[in-house]
Amino acid sequence: MITPQVFVRPVLPADGPGMADIIRQVLVEFKVPKKGSAFSDPSMEAFYSYYQAPRSVYWVLTDGEQLWGGGGLAPLENGDSGICELQKMYFRKEIRGQGWGERILLMALEKARAFAYRQCYLETMHYMQAAQALYQRQGFSYLKAPMGNTGHTVCTVWMSKPLLKA
């Protein structure tokens, strides 16, 4: 398979529908229930606007014509203001395993520190082993319970990483 020439850039207003499609396709591929997951998040319908909020950011992976995935961060819903959540790290099957997830994760962690977050939190599914391995390599550890109230009731794996001293 030929890999397209891709690059990372900040999300644009026109990217919302395409990223929502990619996220939903990946969730269907992994047989994630629609209810209680990112599939039905209200932010999916206002993707660009959601990540324009203070202390939020989202990047897309594109070849200049189509989107291949993305990831970002925002304040943890109904949580401590010093905690951000890594959000919507999803990539098309054709591009996975090439280091793009790690690149965007590192960008997100750097931005989280710049935004003065003390901790980065994430939620995932137990069978998304490759994602969990990536997060562990970058210093995330498992939690026994969720933080905040993201509405992602089907996510059964919670992880966090300290960023700054309190």
pLDDT in tens, 81-123: 999 999 999 999 999 889 999 999 999 999 999 999 999 999 9
How far apart are the C-alpha atoms of 63 and 41, rounded to whole Å?
Answer: 26
Q: How far is CA 147 from CA 7, 79, 137, in A?
A: 32, 7, 21
In the chain, what are the domain boundaries?
7-162
Cβ-proximal residues to 53 (8 Å cutoff; 6+ apart), any chain: 74, 75
Strand partners, 120: 84, 161
pTM of the model: 0.89
Cβ atoms of residues 41 and 72 within 8 Å: no
Q: Where are the beta strands (DSSP E) in the chain?
A: 7-10, 57-62, 67-75, 83-91, 119-124, 141-142, 157-162
3-state secondary structure of 135: helix
Percent of the residues in the chain that have a pLDDT greater than 90, as a whole number: 63
Going by pLDDT thresholds of 50, 70 and 90, the confidence category of residue 36 is low
Angle at CA of residue 163, ends 72 and 99, nearest 5°: 45
How far apart CA 92 and CA 89 sit, in angstroms, is 11
pLDDT band at 1; cut points 50, 70, 90: very low
**The architecture CATH gives domain 7-162:** 3-Layer(aba) Sandwich (3.40)
Which two tokens mark 125? Answer: 């599914």
CA-CA distance, 63 to 4, in Å (whole number)?
Answer: 6
Amino acid at 155: C
The CA distance from 42 to 147, in Å, is: 19
